[in-house]
Amino acid sequence: MQRRSFIKSTLLGSTAALAGSPILISFAGPTNNTASPLKITKIRYYSIPGYNKPLFNQARGIVEIETDGGIIGIGEGGSKDMIEQCAQMMIGEDPFRIEHIWQNVYRGMFYPPGREKLHALGALEMALWDIKGKALNVPVYDLLGGSTREFVECYATGFSASKATTEEQRARDCIEAGLRTYRIGPTGGNGDVRFDFYENAKKTIEFCKRIDAAVGGEGKWAIDLHTRFDLTEGIKICNALEVLEPYFVEDIVRSENPGVYKTVRQMTKVPIAVGEQFGDRWDINELIENRLIDYTRVTLPNTGGISEFKKICTMAETHYVGMIPHFTGPLSTAALVHVLGSSSPSRCMMELGGGAPEKPPYLNEDYVLFKNGKLYLNSAPGLGVKFDRKKVDFVMEINSKTKFPHPILKSPDGAIHNW
């Protein structure tokens, strides 16, 4: 079947699809405002054994969205309560109408979604893209416009492959392995200890000098200040680091008041990165549009999904801001390669915790293609990831709409309106 006529077809039957023999079912085209003959019938949520949210509250559950055609998509993220609320609004919907579903879940309640709900929506929306790719037998990056780069450069936070006993040698090992940048944190602040701003500002500056010397400068290192410092010490550190030319300095001050970067931008010349604690485009748009940052750290699933992340990529490109998303989990890493591999910001890197992709037992070993410190596009259908539900813990299944539905308001043209 030619690709041109295949656009109006869908692959049904998960057993056949998984076996590599998809069944092609033709249909006449969209009717009644639908884009496919598929409907969402079930949504399951699983927890990861042994994962207890180390260091910060980053949920890493797995969601499966099942359709009446047997095609199942997978996503990552969200807490049980938020997944349940969002999932109940998706049962019976056409999974191809990704933006429509996103708008309904995002705007269907009275209050705008907080970041925890965005995290759940992002996991579910990720699974919708996986369904669509599998149904059309194409990788997600093809659905997003096709590849724009040969690979995505990576930077490491830590480098577990190194057997070095010093941070300087670990940084050298990281760069020699092909990663673009070694990311460090400030001194102090680990464990239940008193944090002296003045003392740790001085120690952090000296630490950066040692790392810069170890890797030979040229942006081969970066630092995350972890929002630990107030403005005075944060700027003191930044100004001391200007001559060293780090790739970026991240989260110079606390994130509650993004407008403070109007002041920060005027006080330092280091490249500024912000966003790992943020969600959708409305969290980050003023920082990008006013060119108050050089890199955005927003990521998946935190933004609310692949479509939202793609929109932020476009906004960043318009204002010459780079994309260096924060690491969240292995499935999100796979999804990020599809988005960044089909986006245009010229400055683009992905974080790998430990300096290499995780190898969780519940995903296929080649769920991402990693070589010499770089991530390559996976051409398998959907996200290119296989999920073994036997190796995770089942939490719940949603197979019906909420008993307390909210009214859905639409514009005259049928677009979702705020309730």
Report the CATH number at residue 70. 3.30.390.10
Average pLDDT (33-56) is 82
- Mark whether 133 and 147 lie in a shared domain: no
pLDDT score recorded for residue 112: 87
* The residue to which tokens 């998509």 are assigned: 73
Q: What distance in Å separates the CA atoms of residue 161 and residue 177, rounded to the nearest whole number? A: 9
Average pLDDT (125-130) is 98
- Mark whether 109 and 168 lie in a shared domain: no
pTM of the model: 0.91
In 3-state terms, what secondary structure has residue 133?
helix
- Mark whether 235 and 275 lie in a shared domain: yes
- Mark whether 198 and 298 lie in a shared domain: yes
Model confidence at 219, pLDDT cuts 50, 70, 90, reads very high
- Mark whether 185 and 102 lie in a shared domain: no
- Mark whether 354 and 244 lie in a shared domain: yes
Model confidence at 406, pLDDT cuts 50, 70, 90, reads confident
pLDDT, the chain, mean:
90
- Mark whether 221 and 177 lie in a shared domain: yes
What pLDDT, in 10s, does the model give residues 63-116? 999 999 999 999 999 999 999 999 999 999 999 999 999 999 999 888 889 999
- Mark whether 184 and 261 lie in a shared domain: yes
Does the residue 71 lie in any domain?
Answer: yes
- Mark whether 56 and 169 lie in a shared domain: no
Q: What distance in Å separates the CA atoms of residue 203 and residue 223, rounded to the nearest whole number? A: 13
Model confidence at 54, pLDDT cuts 50, 70, 90, reads low
Q: What distance in Å separates the CA atoms of residue 339 and residue 334, rounded to the nearest whole number? A: 9
Burial class of 407 by CB neighbour count within 10 A (0 to 12, 13 to 18, 19+): exposed
Does the residue 16 lie in any domain?
Answer: yes
CA 30 vs. chain centroid, Å, equals 31
Q: Which domain holds residue 242?
A: 143-376
CATH of the domain at 323: 3.20.20.120
Domain count across the chain: 2
Does the residue 393 lie in any domain?
Answer: yes
Does the residue 382 lie in any domain?
Answer: no
Q: Is the pLDDT of residue 315 over 70?
A: yes
**Composition of the chain by helix, strand, coil, percent to 5:** 35, 20, 50
